[in-house]
């Protein structure tokens, strides 16, 4: 009959609709007996860059006054945003660092103001860094307990090869750098590490050095630092080469440095392509695309281990999309799918730290360039820093590739923390987290502690929103411009973790018996 046909059609529509929003059960198995990798305690890192206000890409100039020479250092939000990490690792460097002259000592007679210059590297002239500005920066770093990596100019004393390539030749002249390091040490400024050059390795970007020459230069930098800091206990570490990974170039560089010269092998990641790419938002949500960079992390770790086993690989700079990021994407909620996945992935490949480009400036910053209000990724980075310890655990599931899962021993507490990222825009994943040794839940009759969950999702379900919700409540600065408290939702530990479409969750399980975390 017509009535029964209509009812059948209604039921088909109902079940089709139900299945489109229904949950998918996933069992996630965590191996807690041994670790698979280890990061630094301060794995999260953010960069400050030298770009002036007139750095423009694709008809827009997104840096404003966020560059090192112009940044509003007394800004209360900036202070609170750095202080909240206690400590935040900050890397000072970027494209223009190899044109920066330090106004200190007698080795340099001319210290010009940076300006646009057509034939200059990246379209800019050399620029002057006054010590008064360095003092002001260190006042902020000291008050906020920041851990500083400073990138030095590696082209001092060198000149272009003039052979049709972008190669520069000659030995590094360390005099200006030595005066700068001496000044820094005499002031008692705490420096975690010095890095030499920016993106001069592999094929280079605007300039390039041969790997054997760079190895020689870095060895000289090590000598300079050791002379100024004779006590190894307070001596800054040495990092390099701060550019895109190329296996042969990195191998040759490390073979041309003496043992224990380099402490951190730094490489840069912009695996999402150009910021102007209209496909950027789709790449960020494509697990197959995101997986393609894993080989780079694996090879960088392997080269570091094989040719400089005393060192650790770092991601020294990573903005995802180059040329200042995507104007409508890189500062919004959706970028977390790329960023948090990168953090999880690099940690599994034994990387020491991951420096996000940028703390402020461009479209990809953790803080808004003009208002300083935190963008969504700031809160993801802060939660990682507070919850994920340095020991990395193996974790697996046989569900959809759109569910990404990472697990670490919890930071400064018992148990584990699991990060669940749901890149699907239609499927809720109901996740049962199990111990592969079947030691959780405990069967000793004791009462399990409540599970702690931090669910992060975009405001109004709009993945291009600048506002992120924590357990349904928008994260906004307090009336005194402090970073808001981020409290977990306490959940029955025997229930599944429900991960909504387009969201991610940090889950802390205090009772999870992982011997690797003991």
Beta bridge partners of 420: 405, 505
Residue 434 lies in a domain: yes
Residue 10: pLDDT band (50, 70, 90) is very low
Instruction: Indicate the pTM of the whole model.
Output: 0.95
Give Cα separations from 403 to 123, 184, 398, 500 (angstroms).
Answer: 42, 47, 10, 11
Q: Which of 269, 153, 155, 248 is nearest to 207 (CA)?
A: 155
Residues 247 and 327 in one domain: yes
Residue 10 lies in a domain: no
Residue 22: pLDDT band (50, 70, 90) is low
What confidence tens digit (pLDDT) does each residue in 178-220 have?
Answer: 999 999 999 999 999 999 999 999 999 999 999 999 999 999 9
Q: Read out DSSP for 112-143?
A: PPP-B-TTSGGGB--EEEEHHHHHHHHHHHHH
Last residue of one domain, picked from the residues 389, 410, 445: 389
Residues 379 and 419 in one domain: no
Q: What is the CATH number of the domain that holds 447?
A: 2.60.40.1180
Residue 453 lies in a domain: yes
Residues 293 and 438 in one domain: no
Mean pLDDT of the chain: 95
Residue 268: per-residue pLDDT: 98
Q: Is the pLDDT of residue 309 over 70?
A: yes
Q: What value does the mean pLDDT take over residues 349-353? A: 98
Residues 354 and 226 in one domain: yes
Beta bridge partners of 243: 267
In the chain, % of residues over pLDDT 70 = 94
Helix (H), strand (E) at residue 376: helix 376-387
Residue 462, domain extent: 24-36+395-517
Residue numbers annotated as active site: 199, 317
Q: What is the CATH number of the domain that holds 279?
A: 3.20.20.80
Take residue 194 and report the two structure tokens written for it.
């010095």
Residue 15 lies in a domain: no
Residues 426 and 336 in one domain: no
Residues 293 and 216 in one domain: yes
Residues 32 and 111 in one domain: no
Residue 447: per-residue pLDDT: 83
Contact between 268 and 204 (Cβ < 8 Å)? no
Residue 12: per-residue pLDDT: 45
Residues 354 and 445 in one domain: no
Residue 438: per-residue pLDDT: 74
Residues 407 and 378 in one domain: no
Residues 191 and 227 in one domain: yes
Alpha-carbon gap, residue 14 to 31, rounded angstroms = 40
Q: How many domains does the chain have?
A: 2
Residue 361: pLDDT band (50, 70, 90) is very high
């Amino acid at each position: 009959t017509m009535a029964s046909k209509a009812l059948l059609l209604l039921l088909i529509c109902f079940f089709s609709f139900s299945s489109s929003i229904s949950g998918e059960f996933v069992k996630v198995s965590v191996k807690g007996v041994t670790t698979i990798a280890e990061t630094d305690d301060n794995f999260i890192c953010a960069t400050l860059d030298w770009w002036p206000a007139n750095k423009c890409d694709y008809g827009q100039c997104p840096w404003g006054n966020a560059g090192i020479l112009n940044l509003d250092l007394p800004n209360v939000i900036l202070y609170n945003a750095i202080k909240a990490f206690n400590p935040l690792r900050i890397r000072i460097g970027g494209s223009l660092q190899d044109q920066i002259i330090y106004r200190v000592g007698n080795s340099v007679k001319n210290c010009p103001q940076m300006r646009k210059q057509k034939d200059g590297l990246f379209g800019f002239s050399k620029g002057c860094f006054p010590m008064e500005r360095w003092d002001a920066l260190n006042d902020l770093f000291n008050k906020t307990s920041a851990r500083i990596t400073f990138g030095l100019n590696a082209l001092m004393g060198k000149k272009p090869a003039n052979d049709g390539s972008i190669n520069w030749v000659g030995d590094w002249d360390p005099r200006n750098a030595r005066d700068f390091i001496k000044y820094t040490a005499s002031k008692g400024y705490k420096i975690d590490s010095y890095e030499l050059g920016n993106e001069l390795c592999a094929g280079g970007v605007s300039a390039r050095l041969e790997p054997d020459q760079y190895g020689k230069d870095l060895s000289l930098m090590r000598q300079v630092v050791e002379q100024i800091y004779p006590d190894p206990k307070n001596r800054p570490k040495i990092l390099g080469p701060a550019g895109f990974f190329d296996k042969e170039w990195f191998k040759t560089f490390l073979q041309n440095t003496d043992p224990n010269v380099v402490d951190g092998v730094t490489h840069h990641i912009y695996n999402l392509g150009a910021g102007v790419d209209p496909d950027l938002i789709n790449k960020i949500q494509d697990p197959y695309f995101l997986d393609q960079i894993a080989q780079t992390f694996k090879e960088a770790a392997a080269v570091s281990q094989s040719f400089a086993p005393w060192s650790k690989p770092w991601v020294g700079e990573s903005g995802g999309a180059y040329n200042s990021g995507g104007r409508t994407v890189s500062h919004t909620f959706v970028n977390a799918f790329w960023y948090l996945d990168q953090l999880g992935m690099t940690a599994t490949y034994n990387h020491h730290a991951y420096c996000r480009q940028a703390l402020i400036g461009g479209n990809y910053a953790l803080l808004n360039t003009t208002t300083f209000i935190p963008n969504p990724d700031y809160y993801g980075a802060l939660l990682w820093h507070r919850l994920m310890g340095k020991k990395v655990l193996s974790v697996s599931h046989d569900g959809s590739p759109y569910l990404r899962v990472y697990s670490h021993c919890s930071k400064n507490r018992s148990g584990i923390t699991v990060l669940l990222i749901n890149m699907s825009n239609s499927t809720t994943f109901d996740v049962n987290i199990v111990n592969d040794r079947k030691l959780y839940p405990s069967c000793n009759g004791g009462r399990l502690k409540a599970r702690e969950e931090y669910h992060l999702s975009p405001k109004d379900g709009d993945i291009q929103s600048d506002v992120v919700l924590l357990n349904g409540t928008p994260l906004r600065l307090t009336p005194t411009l402090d970073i808001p408290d981020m409290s977990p939702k306490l959940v029955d530990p025997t229930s599944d973790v429900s991960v909504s479409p387009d969201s991610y969750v940090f889950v802390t399980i205090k009772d999870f018996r992982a011997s690797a975390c003991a």
